[in-house]
Amino acid sequence: MSHTYTSNLMHCVFSTKGRCDLIPEELQDKLWAYLTGIARNLKIASLAVGGTANHLHLLIGLPATMALADAVGKLKANSSRWMGEHGIEFEWQKGYGAFSVSPSMVGTVKSYIRNQAEHHKKRNFEEEFLVLLRKSGIVFDAGRVFD
């Protein structure tokens, strides 16, 4: 076969350092758009971006030649720099969560990401993240997830 065909759809989630409310509401849409631009420049398909003042969700399609850790690292580094350029002392948490997404679930995940403000009327980020880990079958130590 002379071509490479992949479907690497990932729902990525990461928070601000210490899960502090560092992303002002008036900058959120601009930050989401900036992340979409970063992804485009990296040849990453950005299918949905959203979040709240203390965390971010991305639905991305990774190119076959890019490792997930490299993609997330570049997205975090560039967006962190952008926030600093807007006068905000800013840092993302060190780690992240990434969950594979079936093509049949893309619409559901997009809707989930775009409706973060509504979701967080019912549960905070920490509760949400633990639910995502459990639903994905990821084994974790609940006492160390947010170290």
Judging by DSSP bridges, how do beta strands 55-61 and 9-15 pair with one another? antiparallel
CATH class label, 9-135: alpha beta
Note whether 80 and 92 are within 8 A (CB).
yes
Name residue 77's amino acid.
A
Using the 8-state DSSP alphabet, how is residue 19 labeled? Answer: G
Contacts of 48 (CB under 8 A, 6+ apart): 57, 58, 59, 109, 110, 113, 114
3-state SS, 120-144, equals CCCCCHHHHHHHHHHHCCCCCCCCC
* Domain spans of the chain, in order of start: 9-135
Q: What is the pLDDT of residue 70?
A: 98
Q: What is the pLDDT of residue 45?
A: 97
| Beta bridge partners of residue 126, listed in sequence order | none
Q: Structure tokens of 12? A: 């990525």
Residue in this structure with the two tokens 């995502």, named with its chain if needed: 132
Closest CA to 137 of 99, 107, 95, 109: 99
pLDDT tens-digit profile, the chain (147 residues) = 678 899 999 999 999 999 999 999 999 999 999 999 999 999 999 999 999 999 999 999 999 999 999 999 999 999 999 999 999 999 999 999 999 999 999 999 999 999 998 888 889 999 999 999 999 999 999 889 987
Q: What is the pLDDT of residue 17?
A: 96
Judging by DSSP bridges, how do beta strands 55-61 and 45-52 pair with one another? antiparallel
| Beta bridge partners of residue 60, listed in sequence order | 10, 46
Q: What is the pLDDT of residue 18?
A: 94
Q: What is the pLDDT of residue 1?
A: 64
Q: What is the pLDDT of residue 60?
A: 98
